[in-house]
Amino acid sequence: RERGERPLAGVRVLDLTRVLAGPACGRELAAHGADVLLVSSPRLPSIEPFVMDTSHGKRSAFVDLETQDGAVQLRELAAGADVFIEGYRTGSLARRGFGPEQLAAMRPGIVYVSINCYGHHGPWRERPGWEQLAQTVTGTAAIEGGDGPPRLLPAAACDYTTGYLAAYGAMTALARQTREGGSWHVRASLCQTAMWIDRTGVVHEPAAARGLGETADLMTASDTPWGRLVHLKPAASMSATAPRWVSPSVPLGTHQAAWSA
């Protein structure tokens, strides 16, 4: 690539995720230049503030997998994708023909990213789960509570960190696919992230932590369909190809379920 070209320019990402961890992964890939299409079910509920926060740089479409037309539509999209991200209960997409082995056969060379709560092995792998449960079962809440009762971290640390780690895994897999060929399966989970955070040790904030006025250098603003949105900039800093989002967050289903020309 020429100097200054975005690292993921030309990479198509099909983002079948919702809530926080998976959407954060797609958002990070968009920040490095990927063409990210968020595909949501019109039958599932959504949390609008989360959509606003995690949809920077993406286009957004509805596909209904409960219909035959929807399944055909998703296969056509997957056939043109370089990366496929899913955050549904383990095995649910495979039962519909969209598991990692099935997509590798349909689209050789694809990078398939799976995100769940409890990990991809063991008796809990198919259970649904989310941030608070991951913090609880891994002991993170007990550590945060100290000598008192368990207490949740004051942020969705498992969700967002899992999204960043999954994006890092996807980019690593894309690099290896370029050198070695093959299709790749990246797996991340909230519980593995929680245990990794615990292993890194506890960092105690000083009593006078940075206030809102001292975080201006971390913020940016975007004009969105919801109005002007003030939000965090991309987390990474790169000298030649600074991450950025080229489009604002939009409501689910804003665009057609098709790749950009």
Catalytic residues: 159
- Please tell me the distance from the alpha carbon of residue 88 to that of residue 238, in angstroms, as a whole number: 32
List the structure tokens of 239.
Answer: 């000298």
CB 224 within 8 A of CB 248: yes
Residue 42 neighbours by CB under 8 Å, 6+ apart:
62, 64, 253
Other C-beta atoms within 10 Å of 14: how many? 29
CB atoms within 10 A of CB 219: 11
Q: Please, what is the end-to-end C-alpha distance for the chain in angstroms? A: 21
Q: What is the rounded distance in angstroms from the CA atom of residue 54 to the CA atom of residue 23? A: 6
- What are the Cα distances from residue 217, in Å, to 37, 53, 220, 239, 241? 29, 18, 8, 17, 19
**CA 221 – CA 227 distance, rounded (Å):** 10
